[in-house]
Amino acid sequence: MSFDPTRYLNPAIAAVPKSGIRKFFDVAATMPGAISLGVGEPDFVTPYHIRDAAINSLLDGETQYTSNWGLLSLREEIAYYMENRFGLNYDPKNEILVTVGASEGIDLSLRVICNPGDEILIPEPSYVSYAPGVVFAGGTPVPMPTYEENAFALTPEAVEAAITPRTKAIILPYPNNPTGAVVGKEQLQKLAEVFIRRDLIVISDEIYAELCYSPEGHTSIAALPGMRERTFVLNGFSKAFAMTGWRMGYICAPAAFCDVMCKIHQYTILCAPRQGQVAAEQALKRGREDGYADVARMRESYDQRRRLMVKSFREMGLSCFEPLGAFYVFPGIQKTGLSSEVFCERLLREHRVVCVPGTAFGASGEGYIRCSYATGINQLSEALERMSTFLKHL
């Protein structure tokens, strides 16, 4: 009898589907001349002063481990930043954990709270890692569709309706990838009331916090009364400082949570890479001096492109909710009669533009496509023209 490795796998983990994004990547990678609106990362390169700090750190021979928690000097900068930008107070000694991207933050926070059978609410459409993360942590993901007519925001009623005696926590993914939706302070207060009353833990993924285009800016739910004690704030440097490849993130949470997360982090990761930490510290240090000018410059550039995208899609006759966060628009393609997947496949094969079907982000993404505008303006204009031609000839 031949050896069958699959017999030895954990069936729950083996059954988790691969990301729907992957399939598109494989097709798109073989298409010369394709313009990609499928990229989930900034089109800026990390500002040079940040890269330079990492280079100098290497030249100075800083090649050792850091504290499990991350460099204290970096955690102090994060503490200052969180207070300065979002009015959050965390103790750099035991309430801030430096992670390998916010992705590790998703994993750690879920792992420390999930008991087998615990239900974790996940508003959808949303980032592809949440539901698999819950499964890996031994919990049960409970998707909660959100709708364009509610601006893809979570409603208190929907949360109430989804809660069962097994509900432990909710992931709050705003500003949202893929919809670009944000949840303003007023709405957050209504949600916080439910979270407190129904005793839910909140994992607030705020990786796009700096890319918020509403005049009031981003509000962290942890800043609302009664929420800090039950909230994990996940953030990082990837989107705000164009540092995706550095894999630098952090979690801010009460000490009792951080203490247990740090145990997993200590035994599995040891510490985030040192040069990434040095670079991150430089990003925040310079920001403290110049009012986070790097971030402001990039945000303004995204905002300009965001307006162009929304207007263009509406002119093409698509329904297009106005996204006020992240760098995605999520136009509705229902009127074409095509499924999201077929639409994206045909757009790619016939007109060489890569978009991601909304269904990659949950079943409720059907009828929508995600278009990233983190791409040069000339490329964007060309892609929009091709899409317009595609729609005209459908």
Interaction site with other proteins (CB under 8 A): 19, 21, 24-25, 28-29, 34, 36, 38-41, 43, 45, 127-129, 177, 296, 300, 304-305, 307-308, 311, 354, 356, 360, 377-378, 381
Helix, strand or coil for residue 370? strand
DSSP letter, residue 138: T
Smallest distance, Å, CB 228 to other proteins? 29
CB of 62 to other proteins, least distance (A): 25
For residue 310, which amino acid is it?
A: V
Q: Quick one: 127 or 136, whose CB is closer to other proteins?
A: 127
The H-assigned helical ranges of 237-373 are: 255-268, 274-290, 293-315, 340-351
Minimal CA–CA distance to 288: which of 36, 3, 15, 84?
A: 84
- Tokens read off for 72: 């204290």
Rounded to the nearest 10 degrees, how much is the dihedral formed by the CA atoms of 196, 197, 200, 204? Answer: -40
Question: Which amino acid makes up residue 54?
Answer: A
Nearest residue (CB) to other proteins, 257 versus 327: 327
138 burial via Cβ count (<10 Å: 0-12, 13-18, 19+): middle
User: Among residues 160 and 300, whose Cβ is nearest to other proteins?
Assistant: 300
**Which residue's CB is nearer to other proteins, number 92 or number 133?**
133
Instruction: With both helix axes pointing from N to C terminus, report the angle between 255-268 and 101-113 in degrees, rounded to the nearest 10.
Output: 110
The Cα 38–Cα 191 span in angstroms is 31
Task: Name which of 28 and 113 has its Cβ closer to other proteins.
Answer: 28
CB of 17 to other proteins, least distance (A): 13
Helix (H, G, I), strand (E, B) or coil at 119: strand
Q: C-beta of 276: minimal distance to other proteins in Å?
A: 17
Nearer to other proteins (CB atom), residue 21 or residue 142: 21
Nearest-Å Rg of the Cα atoms of the chain is: 21
**Residue 31 Cβ vs other proteins, minimum distance, rounded to whole Å:** 9
SS3 184: coil
Instruction: Name the nearest CA neighbour of 249 among 212, 218, 208.
Output: 208
Q: Between 46 and 109, whose beta carbon lies closer to other proteins?
A: 46
> Which tokens belong to 107?
């994993």
Distance in angstroms between the alpha carbons of the first and the last residue of the chain: 54
CB of 81 to other proteins, least distance (A): 20
> Among residues 201 and 295, whose Cβ is nearest to other proteins?
295
Give the shortest CB-6-to-other proteins separation in angstroms.
26
Query: C-beta of 32: minimal distance to other proteins in Å?
Result: 11
